[in-house]
Amino acid sequence: MRKMRNFVELHAFGVCSAMGERLGIASTKIRMWFIYISFLTLGSPVVVYMILAFWMRIKKYILLGKRNPLKHF
């Protein structure tokens, strides 16, 4: 079960786990509430999820680029 969860986290951007780490809440509870809210609002939180995933990727690339200032020389 743990291998499957790690695979999903790796391929599903890790938005719920990142939110869980920042808020101090278990990521499984965040995923559960995300699914419930998605059903109630007909999928509109998916847009928010994709925006957060995009933001996390951009933030990661920016931080990696700033760690080595001599990379471009």
- 14-71 pLDDT per residue, tens: 788 888 888 898 888 888 888 888 888 888 888 888 888 888 877 777 777 765 555 5
Helices within 1-73 (DSSP H only): 2-11, 15-23, 27-40, 45-67
Q: Residue 73: enclosing H or E segment and its boundaries?
A: none
Please name the residue that has the structure tokens 């499957």: 4
Does the predicted TM-score (pTM) go above 0.85?
no
Task: Report yes or no: 56 and 15 within 8 Å, Cβ to Cβ.
Answer: yes
